Amino acid sequence: MDMMCLEKELREAFCWFHENPELAYEEFRTTEKIREILTVHGIEILPYKLETGLVAVIRGEKAGAVQALRCDIDALPIVEETGLSYCSKEAGKMHACGHDMHITAGIGCAVLLQENRNRLRGTVKIIFQPAEETSLGALKILETDVMKDVDRIWGFHADPTNEAGAVAIREGYVTAAVDRFVITVKGVGCHGAHPDHGIDPIPVAAAIIQALQSIVSRNVNAFHPSLLSVTRVSAGTTWNVIPAEAVMEGTVRTMEREDRVLYEKRLREIAERTAQAYGAEAEVEWIAGPPATCNDKEMADFCARWAETMGLPVAVEESSLGGDDFAFYEEKIPGCYVKIGTGIGHPIHHPAFMVKPEMLLPAAEFLSGLILGDQQE
């Protein structure tokens, strides 16, 4: 296929996806646009009953392993401030995490693999996954049998900390386990002038918030990256009434499995016993998200070598306490999650984040070459 034509097509597709962002589980037009482009190129789409998202398959002409490539497709509820000529047309919605680039590079990879079926050993499944921003979208894919025969899976992410086209890779942990908690402190409401007639949940909540930080400083190995953040506190409805409840929620990020277990145990103990000391009660809800993403050593080593073979700049991927539900796939099979430079600029989730379109084709070539190259060794 003529690379200039493919580059033009990818840029046009990228602009469309950027202009038409859809939030998690609402990616209906996005899914249909992906389907439309893949169908034009004769790429088979597997008949899974997904509300949003889809899985394409390229069947090689030679026997070999089954690989998968995950591309996430949802946007964020952010007002765009890039000033691009193709900025979001959807009020309050934006592809601020680079998923428009993920979709486009995934399409480009699928097209290149389809064009090179004679070289392809085995089968490749391109997973256009919904709702990554919920941290649970991968479970929608795993509810099907998509992964039952997959031997290994590749994932990638836009990286505004490196020049366009650079590849950042490392073995081992690269993103954290992501868990959410909600603590409800139950006191006794009363008049604001007579706190002795009730049990004020607000100072209880304040004490819990401060005490929770002792988990980081006093319970976890100082050499293990982790954090606990209380991100929302809510109590009361007016100025002269002591409320009956206070609610706080937040997130815990860990790399090590034992730390994840420890945080939940200590958080429950601290919340419940602190509340008890004040004569109140605390109910704790722990909402488990994806585990930590951990790159398979052999896959990571090959990825770095392949990037060098293609003449792409290679950097060491930074570990992050951000999370990615790509880790759910890695619980089942070996995986590798790399970052592809999109041009140094604003960080992901920033309203002015943008991707340099000139890196779309190189990203697609890298991904397809990675999969093809992996089978030529």
Q: Within this chain, do residues 19 and 156 fall inside the same structural domain, yes or no?
A: yes
pLDDT tens across 229-268, in order? 999 999 999 999 999 999 999 999 999 999 999 999 999 9
Q: What is the mean pLDDT of residues 56-85?
A: 97
In this predicted structure, the answer to whether residue 376 has a pLDDT above a threshold of 70 is no
DSSP annotation string for 162-209:
S-TT-EEE-SEEEE-EEEEEEEEEE-B-EETT-GGGSB-HHHHHHHHH
Q: Within this chain, do residues 158 and 256 fall inside the same structural domain, yes or no?
A: no
Q: Within this chain, do residues 142 and 203 fall inside the same structural domain, yes or no?
A: no
Q: Within this chain, do residues 58 and 153 fall inside the same structural domain, yes or no?
A: yes
pLDDT value of position 332: 94
Letter string b/e over residues 98-126, b meaning 16 or more CB atoms within 10 A of that residue's CB: bbbbbbbbbbbbbbbbbbbeeebbbbbbb
Last residue of a domain, which of 257, 288, 319? 288
pLDDT tens across 170-203, in order? 999 999 999 999 999 999 999 999 999 999 999 9
Q: Within this chain, do residues 150 and 22 fall inside the same structural domain, yes or no?
A: yes
pLDDT value of position 373: 79
pLDDT value of position 1: 66
Query: Residues near 145 by Cβ (< 8 Å), separated by ≥ 6?
Result: none
Q: Within this chain, do residues 204 and 328 fall inside the same structural domain, yes or no?
A: no
Q: Within this chain, do residues 107 and 124 fall inside the same structural domain, yes or no?
A: yes
Q: Within this chain, do residues 225 and 189 fall inside the same structural domain, yes or no?
A: yes
pLDDT value of position 2: 86
Sign of the alpha-carbon dihedral angle for 130, 131, 133, 134: negative
Last residue of a domain, which of 245, 269, 288? 288
What CATH number is given to the structural domain containing 356? 3.40.630.10
The Cα–Cα gap between 301 and 329 comes to 20
- The domain total for the chain is 2
pLDDT value of position 91: 97
The reply to whether the predicted model has a pTM over 0.85 is yes
Strands (E), the chain: 44-45, 54-59, 62-72, 121-129, 152-159, 167-169, 172-175, 177-186, 190-191, 226-235, 241-242, 245-254, 281-288, 293-295, 314-316, 335-341
pLDDT value of position 122: 95
In this predicted structure, the answer to whether residue 377 has a pLDDT above a threshold of 80 is no
Letter string b/e over residues 204-215, b meaning 16 or more CB atoms within 10 A of that residue's CB: bbbbbbebbeeb
Q: Within this chain, do residues 256 and 334 fall inside the same structural domain, yes or no?
A: no
| Residue range of the domain that includes 60 | 3-175+292-374
Last residue of a domain, which of 240, 270, 288? 288
Q: Within this chain, do residues 27 and 99 fall inside the same structural domain, yes or no?
A: yes
**Per this entry, what is the length of the chain?**
377
Q: Within this chain, do residues 102 and 71 fall inside the same structural domain, yes or no?
A: yes
pLDDT tens across 269-317, in order? 999 999 999 999 999 999 999 999 999 999 999 999 999 999 999 999 9
pLDDT value of position 76: 98
What CATH number is given to the structural domain containing 197? 3.30.70.360
Q: What is the mean pLDDT of residues 85-103?
A: 98
Q: Within this chain, do residues 65 and 89 fall inside the same structural domain, yes or no?
A: yes
pLDDT value of position 112: 97
